[in-house]
Amino acid sequence: MKKFEERTVVSETLYNGKIIKLHVDEVELPDGKRAKRELVKHPGAVAIIAITEHNKLILVEQFRKALERSIIEIPAGKIEPDEDPEKTAIRELEEETGYRANEFTYIQSFATSPGFADEIIHLYLAKSLEKVENPAAGDEDEFINLLECTLEEAEGMMNDGRIYDAKTAFAVLYIKELLKS
Amino acid sequence: MKKFEERTVVSETLYNGKIIKLHVDEVELPDGKRAKRELVKHPGAVAIIAITEHNKLILVEQFRKALERSIIEIPAGKIEPDEDPEKTAIRELEEETGYRANEFTYIQSFATSPGFADEIIHLYLAKSLEKVENPAAGDEDEFINLLECTLEEAEGMMNDGRIYDAKTAFAVLYIKELLKS
């Protein structure tokens, strides 16, 4: 869909970092006027709704520098260059939780902040989990705390703000629907 | 919650734009090692789940330069400096849709991309809508197309990718739950 397309007139890369890039584009609007768009480029990420045989949701607690606080999220991680998102998801689930899933299905993808960033999260459902004996280690600058909680506990964490990000909020509603059906 | 806190050692502002800022921080990790964090500062936003008396969801189609395509989203907008989020939400609903709500309630807030950005979206539910005679105009660089659709139509749009952002995906699950109860 290209409705109301904004044609790039000039694109300037202002930062080319380890994870993100910053571009500032001058665009031509549908009425011929010009506007500036500040755009963050991100490699994309995966997130995993992992459910144990006792219908508990697997969550990770970690400090998020951008928010200056710890939050509780579903396991997630960035896609490495040329990595297939499903492979990323399987890898991140193992690295962050020590679990491997015998049932692994794609749910859907969504953009997290379409107003300024191209980050897409690909969401997977992991069931029939088993503990991996010697799980692969995660990023060395990542400190996480593993949790397993019921739907009711997750809803409580959403209400008190410990769960505080869009993908995990989506996941809580998703499993509420799933466990009912 | 400050668990696993990453203490800022140096913070450098690399870009200070109209909407976003880019900081690169050097942080001290819980184990004493250092790491770099690329952080986007955003003023925050609101989004509105607006439901008509016929249980239709109000959506807006707009071109998102970051994604290079048009997507269909719930009405949303950035918080202006010192603006109360609820006031932003009432204003954006009127500007983008021409509706005012007699029932306006806060749902919850979430971070959209906690891995690299501090953007928070505050989500509101708008019901008992009425058309405003001379609605306030929106941003002059914003071109939008207004839609009203049933829950089933919204689910279809989520499946075919026309709905493609986290807040709207959350909204679709939220109204599914709401309309059932």
Give me the pLDDT at residue B135, please: 80
Of B61, B116, B143, nearest to A66 by CB-CB distance is B116
Residue range A50-58: mean pLDDT, rounded: 97
Give me the pLDDT at residue A26, please: 98
Task: Give which of B29, B32, B21, B39 is closest to B3, Cα–Cα.
Answer: B29
Give me the pLDDT at residue B101, please: 97
Contact at 8 Å (CB) between A40 and A21?
yes
Give me the pLDDT at residue A137, please: 81
ipTM of the complex: 0.96
Whether B111 and A165 lie within 8 Å, measured CB to CB: yes
Q: Per-residue pLDDT tens for A59-90?
A: 999 999 999 999 999 999 999 999 999 999 99
In the DSSP assignment, the letter for residue B49 is E
Question: How far does CA A17 lie from the centroid of its chain?
Answer: 19
Residue B174 has pLDDT above 90, yes or no: yes
Task: Select the residue from B10, B29, B36, B112 to test the A interface by mutation, using most A Cβ atoms within 10 A.
Answer: B112
B113-129 b/e (C-beta count within 10 Å ≥ 16 → b): bbbbbbbbbbbbbbbeb
Please give the residue of chain B at the shortest CA–CA distance from A109: B164
Residues of chain B with Cβ-Cβ distance to A37 below 8 Å are 65-66
Distance CA B161, CA A171 (A): 18
Active site amino acids of B: 140
Which has the higher per-residue pLDDT, A64 or B1? A64
Whether A165 and B121 lie within 8 Å, measured CB to CB: no
Q: List the structure tokens of B4.
A: 């696993």
Residues of chain B with Cβ-Cβ distance to A15 below 8 Å are 14-15, 22, 38
**Nearest CA to CA, how far is A96 from chain B (Å)?**
15
Q: List the structure tokens of B163.
A: 């709905």
Which structural domains are found in chain A, ordered by start? 7-41 (no CATH), 45-180 (3.90.79.10)
Residues of chain A with Cβ-Cβ distance to B20 below 8 Å are 38, 40, 116
Residue A53 has pLDDT above 80, yes or no: yes
Residue B67 has pLDDT above 90, yes or no: yes
Q: Per-residue pLDDT tens for B69-119?
A: 999 999 999 999 999 999 999 999 999 999 999 999 999 999 999 999 999
Whether A70 and B173 lie within 8 Å, measured CB to CB: no
Give me the pLDDT at residue B72, please: 98
Of A15, A40, A110, nearest to B165 by CB-CB distance is A110
Rg from Cα positions in chain B: 19
Give me the pLDDT at residue B65, please: 98
Q: Per-residue pLDDT tens for B114-167?
A: 999 999 999 999 999 999 988 888 788 889 999 999 999 999 999 999 999 999
pTM for the model: 0.96
Residues of chain A with Cβ-Cβ distance to B113 below 8 Å are 42, 66, 112-113, 117, 119, 166
**Nearest CA to CA, how far is A83 from chain B (Å)?**
19
Please give the residue of chain A at the shortest CA–CA distance from B21: A38
The residues in A 20-39 lying below 8 A from B, measured between CB atoms, are 20, 22, 24-25, 27, 29-31, 33, 35-39
Report chain B's mean pLDDT, rounded to a whole number: 95
Judged on CB neighbours under 10 Å (0-12, 13-18, 19+), B58 is buried
Residue A161 three-state SS: coil
Residues of chain A with Cβ-Cβ distance to B76 below 8 Å are 115
Q: Per-residue pLDDT tens for A104-162?
A: 999 999 999 999 999 999 999 999 999 998 888 878 888 999 999 999 999 999 999 99
Task: Give which of A35, A30, A121 is closest to A75, Cα–Cα.
Answer: A121
Of A17, A113, A165, nearest to B38 by CB-CB distance is A17
Distance CA A138, CA A126 (A): 19
Report chain A's mean pLDDT, rounded to a whole number: 95
Q: At A32, is the pLDDT very low, low, confident or very high (cuts 50, 70, 90)?
A: very high
Asked if A178 reaches chain B (Cβ–Cβ under 8 Å), the answer is no
Distance CA A125, CA A75 (A): 11
**Nearest CA to CA, how far is A54 from chain B (Å)?**
23
